[in-house]
Amino acid sequence: MATNLKSAGYSYINVDAGWDATLSWNFHTDANGIPDPDPARFPSGMASLASYIHGKGLKSGIYLGIGLEKEAYDKNAPIAGTSCHTQDVAVQPLTATNGWGSNWKIDYSKPCGQSYINSIANKFASWGIDFIKIDGTTQDNVADIAAWSQAIDQSGRQMYLTASAWPVPVSIAGALKPYANGVRVDTDVECYCNTVSSWSSSVSARWNDLPNWLGSVGSNYWPDLDSMPVNNNTGSGIQDGLNDTERQTVMTFWSMASAPLYVGGDVYFIDSKAVSILSNPEVIGVDQAGRIPTQVTGGTLQVWKKQMPDGSTVAAVYNLGSSASNITVDLASLGLSGTQSVRDLASRTELGTAYGSWTASGVPAHGSRLIRLTPAVGGPITGIGSKCVDISGGNTADGAGITMYTCNGQSNQFWSHIGNTFQSLGKCLNVIGGATANSTRVELRTCNDSGAQQWTAPGDGTLHNPQSGRCLDAAGGGTADGTPVIIYDCGGGSNQLWTYPS
Following DSSP, what letter does each residue of 302-317 receive, concatenated? EEEEEE-TTS-EEEEE
In this model, does residue 386 exceed pLDDT 90?
Answer: yes
List the chain domain ranges: 9-291, 296-375, 384-496
Strand partners, 240: 197
In this model, does residue 239 exceed pLDDT 80?
Answer: no
What band does 290 get if pLDDT is binned at 50, 70 and 90?
Answer: very high
In this model, does residue 337 exceed pLDDT 90?
Answer: no
Single pTM value for the model: 0.86
pLDDT tens sequence across 394-418: 998 999 999 999 999 888 999 999 8
**Average confidence score pLDDT of the chain:** 95
How far apart (Å, rounded) are the C-alpha atoms in residues 47 and 378?
59
pLDDT tens sequence across 447-462: 899 999 999 999 999 9
Q: What per-residue confidence (pLDDT) applies to 350?
A: 86
How far apart (Å, rounded) are the C-alpha atoms in residues 432 and 398?
10
What band does 324 get if pLDDT is binned at 50, 70 and 90?
Answer: very high
Q: What per-residue confidence (pLDDT) applies to 194?
A: 75
Chain CA centroid to CA 345, Å: 10
In this model, does residue 446 exceed pLDDT 90?
Answer: no
Q: What per-residue confidence (pLDDT) applies to 237?
A: 77
Q: Judge whether 447 and 353 are in contact, CB under 8 Å.
A: no
Which amino acid makes up residue 314?
A: V
Q: Judge whether 64 and 136 are in contact, CB under 8 Å.
A: no
Task: Count each helix (H run) and each strand (E run) in the chain, helices first.
Answer: 9, 25
Contacts 24+ apart (CB under 8 A), 475-481: 475/439, 477/384, 478/384, 478/404, 479/384, 479/385, 479/387, 479/404, 480/404, 481/387, 481/403, 481/404, 481/405, 481/406
pLDDT tens sequence across 123-160: 999 999 999 999 999 999 999 999 999 999 999 999 99
What band does 292 get if pLDDT is binned at 50, 70 and 90?
Answer: very high
Closest CA to 31 of 74, 77, 76: 77
Strand partners, 57: none
How far apart (Å, rounded) are the C-alpha atoms in residues 28 and 8?
37
Q: Which one of 3.40.50.720, 3.40.47.10, 3.20.20.70, 3.30.390.50 gives the CATH number of domain 9-291?
A: 3.20.20.70
**384-496 domain in CATH 2.80.10.50?**
yes
**296-375 domain in CATH 2.60.40.1180?**
yes
pLDDT tens sequence across 9-56: 999 999 999 999 999 999 999 999 999 999 999 999 999 999 999 999
Label residue 310 exposed, middle or buried (CB < 10 Å: 0-12, 13-18, 19+). Answer: exposed
Chain CA centroid to CA 110, Å: 44
Q: Judge whether 438 and 471 are in contact, CB under 8 Å.
A: no
